[in-house]
Amino acid sequence: MKPKILRTDAELFIIEQYLDELSAIAEVATTERTDEDGLAEAARDATLILTCYTAITAKVIDSAPKLKGIVKYGVGTDNIDIAAATRRGVMVTNCPDYGSDTVADHAFALLIALARKIPGLDRAMREHAWVWPAPRYLGVDLAGKTIGLVGLGRIGRAMARRAHGFGMTRLVSDPYVDPATVAEYGVHFVGLDELLSGADFVSLHCVLTPETRGLIGEAALARMKPTAFLIDVSRGAIVDEAALVRALDAGRIAGAAFDVFADEPLEPGYPLLGRDNVILTPHLAWYTEEAFQRVERDTLAGVRDILAGKRPKNLKNVDVRD
C-alpha cells in the first residue's frame, strides 16, 4: 500500500505540477478542512502532511499514528507544533532558502511606496487624471535616512544590502546574531529601544516566538519617531494591531505597510483598510515566478527525503529521534 500524503492549502497551487510524480510514490489527498477536529480526522492515515498556513497542532499530529513528517512549503513553522512532532518522532522540514531576496524586494518596495506616498498619488491620478504638488503628497528621500532591522536572518540581511545601496544608515536589533559573523554588512547593532527611537523606517524580520509575539506594542510604538514608518513582512502577530491603530489615529507614527496579519485572510471592516498612510498586501511578498518554482522544488525534495526514510536538508527539529 502506498503511503498517504495529506495536502492542505491547495488554493496556493504549490506542488501542483509535481502531483503526477508524487502520485507514483504515494497517495495524495487534498483536504479543505482547516479546523482542528476535521484536520485530525483527515490525517488519521497520513504518512506525511504537506502544508503552508494551516495549523498543525498536537491533536492533529497525535491523531496520525503513521505520520513520519510534516513539510512546510514556506519558511515560518510557527503554525506547526514542533514540540509535539519531536515527541512523536515526526520530522518537520521547511523551505528557508527559496525567497529571501524575493521577500526583501517586496519589503523594500513597500518602504519606497511609503516614503514617496505612491498609493495616494496613484489613487488621486485614477480619480482626477492629474494632481499638482500639495503637502499631502510630499515624500521623503531615502539617502541619509536610517532603517532599523529587527532581525538579521536571511531576509534581514537581504534588506541590509538593499538599504546600503540607497545610502541608508542601518541599525540592527537581533540578540541571536553575533555581530562579528556579519561584519561585512557594515550594520550597527543596538538594543531594540535605541533602534526604535533612531530609525526613520522600522522593518520587521524576526520569527514569531513567544518572545516576539506583540513585540511592537504600545510602548515600542511610543518610542518611534512621529515621522517614522513601520514595515512588516514577517508575521502579523509580532505587532499589536490594536496598538498600531491607536498610534496611527493619534499621529504617533507616520504610516505602516504590512504583508502579514495576525488573522488571515482579512475581513471587510479591518481597521487598517482604506488609510492613505497604510499599505496592505495579502501575504504575497514571496509570490514571484522564480520563487514559486524554487519553493516547489524544495518542497518536493523534502517530501522525497522523508518518504525515503532520509533526514531532509532543512530539518527543523534536529533532535527528533530516529
What positions carry a catalytic annotation?
235, 264, 283
Are 90 and 320 spatial neighbours (Cβ–Cβ below 8 Å)? Answer: yes
- Please tell me what DSSP assigns to residue 72: E
- Residues with Cβ within 8 Å of residue 47, at least 6 apart in sequence: 3, 4, 5, 26, 66, 67, 68, 69, 307
**Distance between CA atoms of residues 82 and 73, nearest Å:** 15
Strands (E), the chain: 4-7, 27-30, 48-51, 69-72, 91-93, 146-150, 169-173, 188-189, 201-204, 229-232, 255-258, 278-280
Backbone angles phi, psi at 211, to 5 degrees: -70, -35
Grid coordinates given for 154: 536571511
Backbone angles phi, psi at 267, to 5 degrees: -115, 155
Nearest partner of 147 among 184, 106, 202, 227, judged by Cα: 202
Grid-cell match 559573523, residue found: 181
Are 215 and 185 spatial neighbours (Cβ–Cβ below 8 Å)? Answer: no
Parallel, antiparallel or unpaired: strands 255-258 and 278-280: parallel
